[in-house]
Amino acid sequence: MTPRDDRRPSDPLDLGSLPGQPRRFRDEDDDEETTPVAPAFTGRGRDESEKLDKYLLRRYHLHGDRKAREQLITMYLPLVRSLARRYASRGEHFDDLVQVGAIGLIKAIDRFDLTRGVELTTYATPNIVGEIKRYFRDKGWSVRVPRGLQELNIRLNKVIDELVPKLQRSPTINELAEAASATPEEVLEALETSQAYNSISLQASPNSESGDEDAGLIDYLGGPEAAYETMEDRTTLAPGFAKLDKRERYILHLRFFEGLTQSQIAERVGISQMHVSRLIRRSLEKLREEIGDLDRPEVSRVSGEQ
Amino acid sequence: MRESIRLELPAAVTALPTLRMLLGGLAVRLDFSLEELEDLSLAATELLRAAGDSERLESWSVEMAVVDDQLHVVAGPYRSPDLRHRLEGAADGAACLDLCRLLSSTVDSFAVDDDDEGFSVTMVKGRRRA
């Protein structure tokens, strides 16, 4: 754990006296320091944390200071992670839950009422949890899927992750059935249910309700950015692709322009093959929503690398 | 030996699971890998949705056939020049994620065949591993 720096401005309303850079902390799952920590997690006194929160909230709400808002988001991402972790065993990817929870955080920051004597932590926590629960309820299984099939689907995710490295190829349906102690028909049915399993747009602006056109949540979160940026140099951010987040663009690029298989993409990006499959379907759906279909070269063009 | 299933579906997204399940059943018999099945399903559904958009179809007509160790999916007939253009890909050879590229990336081959009613599209996918 990095030693905490408890120095803080003598006057919390004096922007110039704030530390120039937010401190970083070690998340319990991370090997490296990753994210600036919320005051509540730094070992700062409760009063000091509250004052800093209030200061930043005032800067944002009264003066429109976007950096103050961003700092609050960054500071409270550990809280989002902590809450998302509670739901990580329910078959959804942890990173996605963090991003969903971050929407709740941002909504809480944007809707925070300075005139009410409530701490941001107190106000944000139910917002974050509510957003995650809503995700499971409304954006999870879009049709009612029997619990048995949901569980088989989750089991298949694990089985696929185990079989791909073992077989050095994508498993067959029969192999999946054997490994998951199910029939091929059940496997097909369970796989089909994953089509009913939607994920919210991670690129959608967290402030879409307020018309904010800020960067998507992906920009607040970590990931193999270097690889994405390499692709970015070669991909035109035309309207269709611009609606996709960096990871989605990267995955479509690898699949349809580099010719990599889902398993190869999964290995490169560091997610499961099933997740790659879902991301490809979701990305194509988003492209379709954005440009009507996938056949408007003028808006879905990739240039430079070919 | 050729064994085929002809399917007439309402041209609606809600009908696609039926198509995918049938493709899955045939893919199991051919011992396709999960990725091969997913690729074929993606190609078939994207083609049908593109055709539905281009031709304002009320129903989709699809034939799925097992030919040796390959799965053939034939969709049509279609008449829309727009759809045909989409299947031909970008005229200037530019790299764009159009229907042509999507099908080329997901099936072993696809062909546009003219007939009296217009044209149909045949997609072929086989098992890759030894």
Beta bridge mates, B63:
B6, B74
Residue A126 has pLDDT above 50, yes or no: yes
Query: Is the link from the previous residue into A184 a cis peptide, with omega within 30 of 0?
Result: no
Class of domain A15-138: mainly alpha
Task: Classify B126 as helix, strand or coil.
Answer: strand
Residue A196 is predicted with a pLDDT of 64
Domain boundaries, chain A: 15-138, 142-198, 224-306
Question: CB–CB of B38 and A277 under 8 A?
Answer: yes
If we measure between CA atoms, which residue out of A17, A110, A25 comes closest to residue A72?
A110
A273 has a pLDDT exceeding 90 = no
- Cα gap A215→B121, rounded to integer Å: 41
Sign (positive/negative) of CA torsion B34, B40, B46, B52?
Answer: negative
Residue A303: which pLDDT band, with cuts at 50, 70 and 90?
very low
pLDDT at B95: 56
Residues of B at the A interface, defined by Cβ within 8 angstroms: 17, 20-21, 24-25, 27-28, 31-38, 42, 46, 49-50, 53, 85-86, 90, 94-99, 101-102, 105, 129
> Residues A281-299: pLDDT tens digits?
888 888 877 765 444 444 3
For residues A197 and A278, the answer to whether their CB atoms sit within 8 Å is: yes
Q: What is the DSSP letter of A172?
A: B
Please tell me the distance from the alpha carbon of residue A250 to that of residue A302, in angstroms, as a whole number: 12
Q: What would the mean pLDDT of A37-49 be, rounded to a whole number?
A: 57
pLDDT of residue B87 exceeding 80, the answer is: yes
What is the bridge-based pairing of β-strands A33-36 and B2-10?
Answer: unpaired
CB B25 within 8 A of CB B87: no
Least Cα separation, residue A174 to chain B (angstroms): 7
Mean pLDDT of A227-250: 61
Per-residue tokens: A19? 């530390």
Chain B interface test: which of A172, A287, A302 (most B C-beta within 10 Å): A172
pLDDT confidence tier of residue A236, bands split at 50, 70 and 90: very low
pLDDT in tens, A132-191: 887 776 555 555 667 788 788 888 888 998 898 899 889 999 999 999 999 999 999 998
Chain centroid to Cα A283, Å, comes to 15
> Of all helices (H) and strands (E), which one includes residue A96?
helix A94-111
Length of chain B: 130
Angstrom distances, CA of residue B75 to CA of A288, A295, B9, B72? 21, 18, 11, 10
Q: A256–B105: do the CB atoms touch at under 8 Å?
A: yes
At A91, is the pLDDT very low, low, confident or very high (cuts 50, 70, 90)? low
Is A56 touching B (CB cutoff 8 A)? no
Contact A258, A264 (CB under 8 A): no
A67: CB partners within 8 A, 6+ apart: A59
Rounded (5°) CA angle A5-A7-A9: 145
Q: Residue holding tokens 């509510």?
A: A130
**Is the CATH number 1.10.10.10 carried by domain A142-198?**
yes
**pLDDT tens digits along B37-67:** 999 999 999 999 989 888 888 899 999 999 9
* Alpha carbon distance B38, A125 (integer Å): 39
The whole-model pTM stands at 0.60
Q: Do B97 and A252 touch (CB under 8 A)?
A: yes
Do the Cβ atoms of A294 and B34 come within 8 Å?
A: no
Report chain B residues whose CB lies below 8 A from the CB of A263. 35
Interface test with A, best of B35, B86, B125 (most A CBs within 10 A): B35
- Residue A145 pLDDT: 66
Within a 10 A sphere around the Cβ of A261, how many other Cβ atoms? 20
A198 touches chain B (CB under 8 A): no
At the topology level, CATH places domain B2-126 in Heat Shock Protein 90 (3.30.565)
Q: Could you tell me the CA-to-CA distances from A169 to A205, A267, B35 in Å, in that order?
A: 37, 12, 9
Query: One fold for both A142-198 and A224-306?
Result: yes
Domain boundaries, chain B: 2-126
* pLDDT at residue A198 greater than cutoff 60: no
pLDDT digits 0-9 by tens, B68-84:
889 999 998 999 988 88
CATH of segment(s) A224-306 = 1.10.10.10
